[in-house]
Every structure is written in C-alpha cells, then in structure tokens.
Amino acid sequence: MTVPKIPDDIVPGSLNRQPINTNPAFSTNFRLMIPKVRNAVYFCTEVSFPSLSMEPIRVSVPMASPLKFFGNKIDHGELVVKFIINEDFSNYFEMSDWFKKSLNYYGFFNDNSQARMMNLIADSGQLLILNNKKTPVARIVFDGLMITGLGNIPMNSSVADAPIIVCDATFQFTSYDIKDP
C-alpha cells in the first residue's frame, strides 16, 4: 500500500489551516453603477446578485441510476435592485423612461436601426463589492443590461408613521464578468 504524499503547496500544521482574512462580508458593502439611471442607483438600498445554475447531462445506464455529467449551458438569474424613491419621483421617472424606450417596436423595425435601438435599450452596469473598510474587492460588469420589470409604488394615507417609498427594478443581462477593482 502506498502512502499519499502531501502536495508541496500545503505545509502541514494547524497554523496553516487558518484563513488569511477572518472578517465576514456585510451585505451593505456594495455600490451599483448604471449610467442610464444615475439618480435611481444613488438611492439603491438592495441588490440581489443573480444565481447561477446548470442542468446536468444524464446518461441512461441499464438497471442503474443514470450517470450525471457537467451540463453544457449555464443559466443565470436576474438582477433585482431595490431603491428609495426620492421626493420629486425623478429617479422613478428615470427608470420608467428607460423601460418605456425599450417598447418602441415600430421604430425598431421601420427604419432598420436595430443597433441604435439596442443602444437605447441595453447598457452595461457595474457592481462594486466593498470590504469592511469600503475598499473595492471586486468589480462585476454586467453586459447587455436591460430593464424588464419595474415594481409598484405602494401609497397609503391611513398609516400613523409614513414609511419611505421603495420600489423594485428587475434587470436581465447577456453576461457578467468578475474583474479586479
């Protein structure tokens, strides 16, 4: 029987098993930047980073469970942003205008300006992930970012303490890439 060797890059000992950085990540350490909606992202309070999933390839085996291998396609979820609506609703109107521009089907098909129209609809955005000292750790660049949903605005005059109005915006994108800050 052969004894497995310890790899050269791992030095044995209890001190070498400790992580270098033991600070936890906080969900408040981010900054979202989307050039088309600068006012809305200034009041951004929450970003739900999209999930990743992959359907495995299943190979049938007679009289046994199917074998599973890595799939050939990665699907990502949508980017959901929650932002506070400011007093004059300008940030909501900015988001709404971008959403309405994406529905200009007649101009898209009539004058053969698909590239110009995609420029109006899609954009690139960045999400900076910050450490506890508010220094950027990573920069996530979203390409082909487009707004696909804008939440409702709840208003209620029967409450004692008036809450801050918050709205959700949902975005789809082509791809994202994690880069150094």
- Which of 49, 66, 60, 70 has the alpha carbon at shortest distance from 173? 49
Under a CB-based contact definition with an 8 Å cutoff, are residues 44 and 81 in contact? yes
pLDDT tens, residue by residue, 84-139: 999 999 989 988 888 887 766 555 555 555 555 555 567 889 999 998 888 899 99
pLDDT tens, residue by residue, 3-47: 666 666 666 666 666 667 777 878 888 889 988 888 777 888 899
* Position 12, amino acid: P
| The predicted structure's pLDDT at residue 17 | 67
d(CA 157, CA 50): 35
